[in-house]
Amino acid sequence: MKRSLTSYFLNFLVFFQAISAIPAGFSLIFDPSGNNLGLPIEMLKHSPFSNYLIPGLFLFIVLGIFPMITFYGLIKKNKFKLAKKINLYKEYHWSWTFSHYLGLLLILWINMQLFFIREFSMLHFIYAMLGVLIIVITHLPSTKKYYKNIK
């Protein structure tokens, strides 16, 4: 089946998420004080965290590595037994489902940030909209058709 234009756009969005989260997450893991990214530790005063290590791990693994694996699956449409087991939408390739998961995780991440740091920045809006856009593009008919499992 010919790749749809929307599938290319979804690939781009997922890849963008991965390459923006991996360096930031790595920086927070390497320097949990947040100084490398200019994040004052005081931003965490309403959160359960005393430093940025756990948020950095989440950012690196869940919003960086996970989207990179998803991106690879979107491009190659390869088989991945573990991913297939946690794919709630069996009629679609696991990477399509993971794109949906990624959009939800990104929106949840931004909402948790807003809840804990109690400050709003334009980056919150941009990444929340990225999460929404990933979900919308994932559910467009042409994207769904391209990633539908053929029996």
Residue 73 has what pLDDT? Answer: 96
What's the Cα-to-Cα distance from 57 to each of 28, 31, 81, 119, 130, rounded to whole Å?
Answer: 8, 12, 25, 21, 20
Please report which helix (H) or strand (E) contains residue 19, including its range: helix 5-30
Amino acid at 81: K
Rounded distance, CA 62 to CA 100, Å? 13
Task: Average the pLDDT over 107-116 and give the result.
Answer: 96
Give the phi and the psi of residue 67 in degrees, each rounded to 5: -65, -30
Residue 151 has pLDDT above 60, yes or no: no
Helix (H, G, I), strand (E, B) or coil at 96: helix
pLDDT at 132 over 70: yes
Q: What is the largest CA-CA distance in the chain?
A: 54
Q: Which of 64, 65, 137 is nearest to 100 (CA)?
A: 137
Terminal CA-CA length for the chain: 14
Q: What is the pLDDT of residues 23-74, one digit of tens each?
A: 999 999 999 999 999 999 999 999 999 999 999 999 999 999 999 999 999 9
Alpha carbon distances (Å) from 23 to 26, 37, 130, 134: 5, 10, 18, 21
> Could you report the per-residue pLDDT of 83-110, keeping only the tens digit for each?
888 899 999 999 999 999 999 999 999 9
Q: What is the pLDDT at residue 52?
A: 97
